Chains A and B, each alone.
Chain A
Amino acid sequence: MLRFFFLACVFTSVACRKLLDVPPPQDQVSTATVFASDSSALKALSGMYIQMMDNTRSLLNGGVTIYCGLSADELVNSYPSIFEDPFRTNSLSADNLQNAVLYNMAYTLIHTANTILAELDGAGSLSTATRAELRGEAKFTRALVYFYLVNLYGGVPLVTTSDYATSALLPRSSIAAVYAQVIADLADASSLLTDGYVAAAGYSGDRTRPNRGAVTALLARVYFYQGSWAQTDSAATAVISNPLYRLEALDSVFLSSSREAIWQLQPVHGNMETAEGLSFIPALPVYPPAYYLADLLLNSYEAGDLRRARWVKKALNGKSYSYKYKRASYDSARVEYNTVLRLGEVFLLRAEARVFLGDYVGAAADLNVVRARAGLPASTAADGSDLLAAIWHERQVEMAVEWGQRWLDLKRSGQIDGVLGGEKPGWTSKAGLWPIPAGELAKNVNLVQNGGY
């Protein structure tokens, strides 16, 4: 009997490890399983876009638009808020919670992309096409997020791994190093992605997955921010000459069916419309708009600019709000999408690049394409500096309250101290960069705060 018992013990101990095998919780999937088949690997990609669109006013879902709009001279918040007021008054402190949320979302998305890139190396069973889609779109996402990080915060830690032991304590990289990574990622993405848009059944025509055109448009913008005018010109030309894209009428630019759109993000919750629509349009007509347009922006429209009529709307309290997106309420028809990249911007990128390249005629032509769509006559600017001023003004109204273009333009063009110093009391030039959140500095001793904070 003792022998029997002994044998039972031995048997049990041999079987020990086996007996402890359990499947992961149903709401979790082991990483290996995710990358074991094309269909589940594509869910990792969906997850990345859902993460972008999960919360209203998170980084890529209205966050850049609203908080850059407040920091620049575009938006005013109607309701006092200890988190939002400092953006408007350019008095952010390092412990601002909203700033921490934006910064955190950037690295969350980078981690999602990095994890996809890391896991693809070991995922032998995926098809070549899926592998290219995942790698290309992850790199595109990483580039897009780093582009905003470097513009909002300056040189940031450059994380390209999913291993926290390596990434957690990295110091800040130089601005140039971040841009080099962005350009390298976009070059890879361009070679991996196709010219057409990938869309699931029932979503055909949607431009919600980046294609080579989207990569090229973002690349044009990145070159443009670096002052690489020739590369900007050629990248922009590649997009403008692509028959997939054409300027739409003002009311159709932000529709899900827009042909002007180069890349859009699809709202993911319930029957919700875009975060911009929900944030800007009052839920009931009697309510004041949560964010209204600053007088300076309202006053900068030329007489007869259709954009003043079509893209701006007046609330009952007399304040005007951004009306590019026209739907605030729920609609299952997916009428409007969050438009990240569009042809209108690309024309203006090329126009400015051409000024610096000395092609004033070409520059004016591009500028006037955009003006014509807004019902305005051709610009009278002829020489370089007039053209530049005209283009910058055009960017202000064409790209108003859209993806922080104004905030970034002011910084890029070196006008920020001049313009905001005049408009905003208490402006200091340190405010051009938002602070690295205090929590980050506490958890990573290698980080250095931006000057002045």
Chain B
Amino acid sequence: MSFKTVVLLLLLMPVCAGAQRLNLRGKGFSFAYVFGEIKKQLDYDIIYTSRNFEGAPTVDVELKNADIRETLNSVFAGLQLGYHIDNRSVSIYRVGSPEASIFKPLQGRVFSAEGQPLAGASITIDSVTVATTDATGSWRARVRSRMTTVTISYLGYSSRTVELSNTVLHVVVLQSSAYTLDNVVVQAYGKTTPRLSMGSVSSVKASDINTQPEGTIAGGLAGRVPGLQVKQYNGVPGAAYGFLVRGLHSIAQGTEPLIIVDGMPVAGNSGALSIIGSGSAQGAMGAASLNGIPLSSVASIEVLKGASATAIYGSRGANGVILITLKQGLAGKARWNFDLFGGVSRAVKTSPNLGIVEYRGLRREAIANDGVAYDSASAPELFAWDSTRNIDLKKMVMGHTGLIKDARAELSGGDTNTVYLVSGSYHGEGAAFGRGTGQDWKSLYGHLMHSCWGRHLRVDLSAIYSWGNTELPIQDLSIFQYSTPNTPAFRDGAGQLQWADHGVGYTNIEALYSNQYRASLRNQLNHLQVSYEVLPGLELKGSFGYSRVSSDENSRLPLAGQDPASAPVGHRYYTGNTWHSELAEGYAQYVWKKGGSRLDALFGVNWQQQRSSHSDIFQDGFTSDAQLSAGVGAGSTTTDANAVAYRYEAGFGRLSYSLRDRYLVNVSGRRDGSSRFGPGRQFGNFWAVSSAWVFSDESFMRRVGWLSYGKIRAGIGTTGNDQIGDNQFAQVYGNTSANRGYQGRQGVIPVTFANDQLAWEVNYSTEVALDLGFLKNKVVLSAIAYRDWTNNQLVYTSLPSQAGLPGVFSNFPADVVNKGLEFTLTTHNWVRQHFRWVSTLLLTVPGNRLRRFPGLAASTYAGRLYEGKPLSEITGYHYTGVDPSTGLFTFRDFNKNGVLDPGDRKPGGDPDLRWYGGLDQNFQYRRWELDVFFEYRVGKGVNPLAMLYQLKPPPGQLGPQMLNNGPVEWLDHWRAPGDGGRLQRLTANPASAASQQAYNYTLSDALLTGASFVRLKSLALRWRLPEKWVSKAGLTNAQVYLQGQNLLTWTKFPVTDPETQDPTVLPPMRMVTMGCHITL
């Protein structure tokens, strides 16, 4: 039986019901259709002026064995229409004035309990938003029938669902809800509310990040979700962030959460866009693929944690799931929204570097310490170059002000059957390197919803198309802030680059700007969802998606940026990357209700394919920049290409049962197949069971007045991780990369062994949570304790050379345990008519530990991992301070053999966060709203001083390439016997004991240092323009706002920012923007 036949049968059912009596049931019928049915079933001719029905609403009909009068009364209820029956014909006429519309809109006003009109509350009918309230709290909506069930919701208030008629003006009062217990949040394949949720779902309001200065979703999530760590690698615009949900689960495999946009899995932030050989200033992770999702199109972001919430995503749920839901349109007359903001960005303040006087002092001190010989060639900055010149290199390479520009326009409207939204946006951010470097994105977004066939069929289509451009140096220039402060002028009097002064060469920073990286990025996402309500409560859905992320990367190292004396040649890199994903999914949802019982069932199947490919070209040996630009005359050309496919399919299901919204049970399962595993190992089963008890609804709890809400829930389940390389199970040959080949023939060599044992990593996850609401939910606390253990770890087993290849992936019975606590405390500190103050405090206490690893000592992980320690545990000497007599770093000689050797290297701590979270304070006073968000992290990080000892040691070492300046922290060092000082004596001799100890310092536990910080992460001040002004200007709504990001940081972390930690990369940007929002 085909789908079409089913639909036809359903439509024909009423016809067979009986003659002269009418049966019709459905929503959203046009009058023409109803009149047709009257003719067909009752055999009356309807006489009407079709002009009267232009723009008429559709009607909802629920008629059983109705005669002609009953039918017409019902259909015309609330409409300004009358009728006259004459024999077998009916004439329809208008009542009231000819100008009036034939139907009356449903209308009302929405107030808070304090009597304030609520502007921006949304009015939804059958999950379509048909109206929002204006500044006076008023709304109007065209509706289909006289009586309609309407849901009115407003952030921070409990939503209300009421039956309204179109004959009166309704006044609805919403009670403020301290905790958003009844706010709808998106979960896997559906929606829920925190009140009834049985898994850990954390929601981030789109309004918190929609107009943030930084155009990336990732930046806005930091600190706002318990259990989600967001790592910013550097402050370069567009650079990827790292996400970690509830800790590292896998020793050797991927730890990226699954990211789903409107039901469509998309490319993660794993560097899919940037793999160019030259690298770029964005760093090793490259550009964030998520940047192609414009913030203006995002309606909400939910983070799913733990098997109870993610088991339905099966093998890809182990690292958590981030659901991004895109905006839908608003029914009603066409409505324009405009947002325009702009501002400036600058790298956050980091330690200043030494000025020339201090620098010279340190340099001479080092030379004196070691008594080494020096001359103008080995110490040119003291003897050859202008020793008083003092340039601010930090300012030059990373001190520029970047501009932020953002503009958006959005149009939405429609009727209750068809709702549309189209928007276009532009976002540009300048980089701190100056000279036009930065990134910008342009995007188009559209969403169309249409329902028909009595609203049984609903079609949703969404599409994003965005394209961006990146222009950056090929490397992060921040490291060059540590060049000598009297580095000679980069250009001579005639403006030509110069490379040496007094015969001693130096790094020409100016020239580095010639080495450019340019990328054009594309992001496309299309998603179609068709749902059909077969029977009341039973819905079938089909979902089809296509997503494509691609980039063209170009890097050039022209001759113009190289010293002509070094016989330079030009290089050129090109990479084209494409990532596709296709999805087909079908599922059925069934809701059954009886009495206080409710059963929700969901079953579905899913097929997905991902393909990624790249092609690289490297050209070398250009002898002129003209040739380089044209790409002709390369001395040699190397090409490389690869294409990888991944397929995935699943069957999944979920059953949820609730009794009186008090006792809740949920079971979900998934059977997954992945092409990443070999024959016989492709399929895996994943499941979760969870339950909840809303104990505050029990009669014995009702007497406890101060407790307004209480729920306890627990869940257990399994998820998997298939983030391993493709085709690891097969014995394959790989291409060699010898461009001449052997006798002109390219070669292939064995690269892997056949490995049919490869199977899923399995993550067992348990959690217990307690949600409490106090004082009428003015104070709401949510506490979650989780414990995950990940087994069957897919680790790389290193083989002896005699096996022929370095090793093989195999599943190991190693256990990684992540456990932790997550708290969310929301308090309504003050709720009065004109003033409202709400605080949200988030705290996560994570813990990660390798519980068991049989055979660790014989594996490649020996000396890197330790049972009972976190996966990130470092190994090193134990640092014991600076010896006051010798001025050298000292370390503990554990094995007491008088020398430092590998036997003295012990586990030396970890850089994992101990606590992290955020504090959000929201104040509303009349037309003003102030939102202040602090992020905090407590833990250790990589000591930038140790990194500098490795990369840019303190002033002292001789030779033109060794002329390093450094941060003021270098001043705090040992100078004479008896001195303290955080750092050891300076040295000019690379073979001195001090140089050896500096090297040992970088191999010691001094590599870790306190990296705790509190950051004023964002601040937003908004002001709604008075209604009078707004309406006078013909607008519906107008706001102006001021936003800041990374404004202040409190930390004891040395040298650089405690989040990026690496002193050689650009720290995060401090941004301030101003803008306005207008609704027409």
Binds A, one of B639-647, B655-663, B769-777, B812-820: B639-647
Binds B, one of A25-33, A175-183, A314-322, A397-405: A25-33
A13 touches B651 (CB 8 A): yes
The distance in angstroms between the C-alpha atoms of A20 and B679, with both chains bound, is: 10
B673 touches A20 (CB 8 A): yes
Closest beta carbon of chain B to A376's beta carbon, Å: 37
Q: Is there a chain B Cβ closer than 8 Å to A267's Cβ?
A: yes
* Chain A, residue nearest B798 (CB): A443
A269 touches B675 (CB 8 A): no
Flag A147-166 by CB within 8 Å of B: 1 or 0 each. 00000000011010011100
A51 touches B736 (CB 8 A): yes
Chain A residues whose C-beta falls within 8 Å of the C-beta of B683 in the assembled complex? 16
* Chain A, residue nearest B606 (CB): A12
The distance in angstroms between the C-alpha atoms of A103 and B726, with both chains bound, is: 30
Chain A residues whose C-beta falls within 8 Å of the C-beta of B700 in the assembled complex? none
Flag B772-813 by CB within 8 Å of A: 1 or 0 each. 000000000000000000000000001111111100100000
A24 touches B727 (CB 8 A): yes
A26 touches B651 (CB 8 A): no
A23 touches B534 (CB 8 A): no
Chain A residues whose C-beta falls within 8 Å of the C-beta of B1027 in the assembled complex? none
Given known A-B contacts A26-B642, A30-B732, A31-B731, A5 and B588 have beta carbons under 8 A apart: yes
Chain B residues whose C-beta falls within 8 Å of the C-beta of A216 in the assembled complex? none
Closest beta carbon of chain B to A17's beta carbon, Å: 7
Chain B residues whose C-beta falls within 8 Å of the C-beta of A104 in the assembled complex? 801
B651 touches A167 (CB 8 A): no
Closest beta carbon of chain B to A111's beta carbon, Å: 2
A23 touches B645 (CB 8 A): yes
Chain A residues whose C-beta falls within 8 Å of the C-beta of B731 in the assembled complex? 30-31
B733 touches A34 (CB 8 A): yes
Closest beta carbon of chain A to B1001's beta carbon, Å: 20
Partner of B804, one of A9, A31, A108, A272: A108
B743 touches A107 (CB 8 A): no
A28 touches B651 (CB 8 A): no
A42 touches B636 (CB 8 A): no
The distance in angstroms between the C-alpha atoms of A200 and B648, with both chains bound, is: 43
Binds A, one of B84-92, B255-263, B321-329, B747-755: B747-755
> Which of B673, B726, B735, B747 has the most CB atoms of chain A within a 10 A radius of its CB?
B747
Chain B residues whose C-beta falls within 8 Å of the C-beta of A42 in the assembled complex? 745
Closest beta carbon of chain A to B144's beta carbon, Å: 26
B804 touches A53 (CB 8 A): no
B727 touches A164 (CB 8 A): no
Closest beta carbon of chain A to B461's beta carbon, Å: 23
Q: Is there a chain A Cβ closer than 8 Å to B740's Cβ?
A: yes
Chain A residues whose C-beta falls within 8 Å of the C-beta of B744 in the assembled complex? 200-203
B747 touches A43 (CB 8 A): yes
Closest beta carbon of chain B to A56's beta carbon, Å: 12
B748 touches A34 (CB 8 A): yes
A24 touches B740 (CB 8 A): no
A27 touches B741 (CB 8 A): no
Chain B residues whose C-beta falls within 8 Å of the C-beta of A30 in the assembled complex? 730-733
Partner of B803, one of A24, A168, A206: A168
B605 touches A12 (CB 8 A): yes
Closest beta carbon of chain B to A369's beta carbon, Å: 31
Closest beta carbon of chain B to A340's beta carbon, Å: 14
A266 touches B742 (CB 8 A): yes
Chain A residues whose C-beta falls within 8 Å of the C-beta of B16 in the assembled complex? none
The distance in angstroms between the C-alpha atoms of A5 and B751, with both chains bound, is: 44
Q: How many residues of B contact A (CB 8 A)?
A: 66
Chain B residues whose C-beta falls within 8 Å of the C-beta of A89 in the assembled complex? none
> B residues 609-626 with Cβ under 8 Å of A?
613
Q: Is there a chain B Cβ closer than 8 Å to A253's Cβ?
A: no
The distance in angstroms between the C-alpha atoms of A49 and B804, with both chains bound, is: 16
Chain B residues whose C-beta falls within 8 Å of the C-beta of A170 in the assembled complex? 802
Flag B706-749 by CB within 8 Å of A: 1 or 0 each. 00000000000000000000110011111110111111111111
B748 touches A47 (CB 8 A): yes
Chain A residues whose C-beta falls within 8 Å of the C-beta of B704 in the assembled complex? none
Chain B residues whose C-beta falls within 8 Å of the C-beta of A25 in the assembled complex? 642-645, 726-727
Closest beta carbon of chain B to A105's beta carbon, Å: 9
Flag B843-876 by CB within 8 Å of A: 1 or 0 each. 0000000000000001000000000000000000
Q: Is there a chain B Cβ closer than 8 Å to A209's Cβ?
A: yes
Partner of B801, one of A12, A27, A40, A108: A108
Closest beta carbon of chain A to B190's beta carbon, Å: 18
The distance in angstroms between the C-alpha atoms of A42 and B748, with both chains bound, is: 9
> B residues 125-145 with Cβ under 8 Å of A?
none
Q: Is there a chain B Cβ closer than 8 Å to A270's Cβ?
A: yes
B800 touches A444 (CB 8 A): yes
Name the prevailing secondary structure of the B interface residues: strand
Chain A residues whose C-beta falls within 8 Å of the C-beta of B76 in the assembled complex? none
Chain A residues whose C-beta falls within 8 Å of the C-beta of B494 in the assembled complex? none
B540 touches A447 (CB 8 A): no
Closest beta carbon of chain A to B621's beta carbon, Å: 9
Q: Is there a chain B Cβ closer than 8 Å to A44's Cβ?
A: yes
A268 touches B740 (CB 8 A): yes
B651 touches A5 (CB 8 A): no
A159 touches B733 (CB 8 A): no
> A residues 1-17 with Cβ under 8 Å of B?
1, 3-5, 8-9, 12-13, 16-17
Closest beta carbon of chain A to B620's beta carbon, Å: 8
A1 touches B540 (CB 8 A): yes
> A residues 242-262 with Cβ under 8 Å of B?
none
The distance in angstroms between the C-alpha atoms of A340 and B1072, with both chains bound, is: 68
Flag A210-231 by CB within 8 Å of B: 1 or 0 each. 0000000000000000000000
Flag B676-704 by CB within 8 Å of A: 1 or 0 each. 00000011000000000000000000000
The distance in angstroms between the C-alpha atoms of A56 and B385, with both chains bound, is: 41
B745 touches A43 (CB 8 A): yes
Closest beta carbon of chain B to A172's beta carbon, Å: 10
The distance in angstroms between the C-alpha atoms of A302 and B642, with both chains bound, is: 57
Given known A-B contacts A107-B803, A164-B808, A168-B800, A269 and B750 have beta carbons under 8 A apart: no
Q: Is there a chain A Cβ closer than 8 Å to B586's Cβ?
A: yes
A27 touches B734 (CB 8 A): yes
Chain A residues whose C-beta falls within 8 Å of the C-beta of B640 in the assembled complex? 27
Closest beta carbon of chain A to B4's beta carbon, Å: 11
Partner of B732, one of A20, A29, A40, A267: A29
Given known A-B contacts A9-B651, A269-B738, A110 and B745 have beta carbons under 8 A apart: no
* Chain A, residue nearest B752 (CB): A28
The distance in angstroms between the C-alpha atoms of A280 and B647, with both chains bound, is: 52
Chain B residues whose C-beta falls within 8 Å of the C-beta of A203 in the assembled complex? 743-744
Chain A residues whose C-beta falls within 8 Å of the C-beta of B752 in the assembled complex? 28
Chain A residues whose C-beta falls within 8 Å of the C-beta of B603 in the assembled complex? 5, 9
The distance in angstroms between the C-alpha atoms of A206 and B742, with both chains bound, is: 11
Partner of B800, one of A21, A29, A199, A443: A443
B802 touches A24 (CB 8 A): no
Flag A259-289 by CB within 8 Å of B: 1 or 0 each. 0000000111111100000000000000000
Partner of B643, one of A20, A26, A106: A26
Closest beta carbon of chain B to A229's beta carbon, Å: 33
A27 touches B749 (CB 8 A): no
Given known A-B contacts A43-B747, A269-B738, A26 and B732 have beta carbons under 8 A apart: no
Q: Is there a chain B Cβ closer than 8 Å to A19's Cβ?
A: yes
Could you write out 20 A-B pairs with CB less than 8 Å apart? A5-B588, A12-B605, A16-B649, A16-B683, A21-B647, A25-B643, A27-B734, A29-B735, A30-B733, A45-B747, A46-B746, A46-B747, A53-B738, A54-B736, A107-B801, A167-B803, A266-B743, A271-B740, A443-B799, A443-B858
Supply 9 further A-B pairs (C-beta < 8 A) apart from A12-B607, A25-B643, A444-B800: A8-B586, A24-B726, A25-B645, A48-B749, A50-B742, A103-B801, A108-B805, A199-B743, A269-B739
Q: Residues on B close to A: CB < 8 A?
A: 1, 3, 6, 534-535, 538, 540, 586, 588, 603, 605, 607, 613, 636, 640-649, 651, 673-675, 682-683, 726-727, 730-736, 738-754, 798-805, 808, 858
Closest 9 CB pairs of A and B: A111-B804, A47-B747, A46-B747, A268-B738, A26-B643, A47-B749, A443-B800, A28-B732, A22-B645
